[in-house]
Amino acid sequence: MNHDSKYQVLLESHEPAPVVIHAGEDREWLIVCDHASNRVPKRLGKLGLSPEDLHLHIAYDSGAAWVAARLSQHLRAPLILSNYSRLVIDCNRYPNDPESIAKVSDNRTVQGNMVVTADEASQRRSSIFAPYHLAIDNALREAEGLGRIPAFISIHSCAPSLGGKGRPWQIGIGWSRDTRMSAPVLQNLAQNANFTVGDNEPYSLDLGSDFTTPEHAMTRGLAHLQIEFRQDLLDTPEAAASWADVLFDAIRSVKAQDSWHRRECYLVASDKVFGIHSWL
């Protein structure tokens, strides 16, 4: 696949582009997936990891892209997916965060990240991180140009256990301050006794750590959901689709959605969340 030459600092001309964009008719929504792929640029030589390592949660959010695609179909919403592994550079971490290019993940040493020069980190940032976030920014600007205020949905998946502790939650909703979407969706999900739903579990929406939702949605005052599905429930496209259907039903069941399409600001200056262009 040919793509813009500015990406070829790291990516060879025949490699896939750093971001995948699916157009959607309904600009009242935008769906993103930060960790959709376990792909590693050829020039990085698999980062010294085995194929088995690259199929673990340390490399990507397995099944999340399937969920995001199905939800995009339901909502007729645009969808933007990062197309390289979080181990190359994590698109949901600040570039100055040590976890942006992780040396160790879940007790596994990432040899290809042990010595990364400032220039090499900059290449990863400009080749992978920047185009993904510029695509999200462009999609939001286009929606705004059409007079839309989209609801922002970020899809993730998590390992069924971490550090020896099991995670009972099938779906987790992370939030911070702005509960316009999280509260009613949590309430609808919790009405089904078959589901164990995490309220800020296993992860919260962490200002200062999470990048995508705060820097894109919260800076604009957009209503948002940041969602985790347990990876062992998403092992086939069909299984992932069924969980996307569960989420869609919970979203669709919310009767009063007016607040989802207006701006409400919950950030304060001390949060130091100023928008993506401070980081590109």
∠ CA 162-165-169, rounded to 5°: 85
pLDDT of residue 39: 98
Q: What is the rounded distance in angstroms from the CA atom of residue 79 to the CA atom of residue 20? A: 8
Closest C-alpha among 174, 166, 170 to residue 190: 170
For the chain, how big is the Rg over CA atoms in Å? 18
Segment 263-270 long-range contacts (CB within 8 Å, at least 24 positions apart): 263/149, 263/220, 263/221, 263/222, 264/178, 264/180, 264/221, 264/223, 265/218, 265/221, 266/176, 266/177, 266/178, 266/218, 266/221, 267/207, 267/214, 267/218, 267/219
pLDDT of residue 1: 39
Low-confidence ranges of the chain (pLDDT < 50): 1-3
3-state helix, strand, coil in the chain (%, to 5): 40, 15, 45
CB-based contact 23:9 (threshold 8 Å): no
Q: Model's pTM, two decimal places?
A: 0.95
Distance, CA of 221 to chain centre: 18
What phi, psi does 173 have (nearest 5°)? Answer: -110, 120
CB-based contact 226:156 (threshold 8 Å): yes
Q: What is the rounded distance in angstroms from the CA atom of residue 61 to the CA atom of residue 268? A: 31
pLDDT of residue 162: 83
Residue labelled with tokens 């997916």: 81
Closest C-alpha among 197, 183, 204, 179 to residue 246: 197
Q: What is the pLDDT of residues 90-109, one digit of tens each?
A: 999 999 999 999 999 988 99
Strand pairing report for 161-162 and 197-199 = unpaired
**DSSP 8-class letter at 69:** H
Q: What is the rounded distance in angstroms from the CA atom of residue 92 to the CA atom of residue 215? A: 10
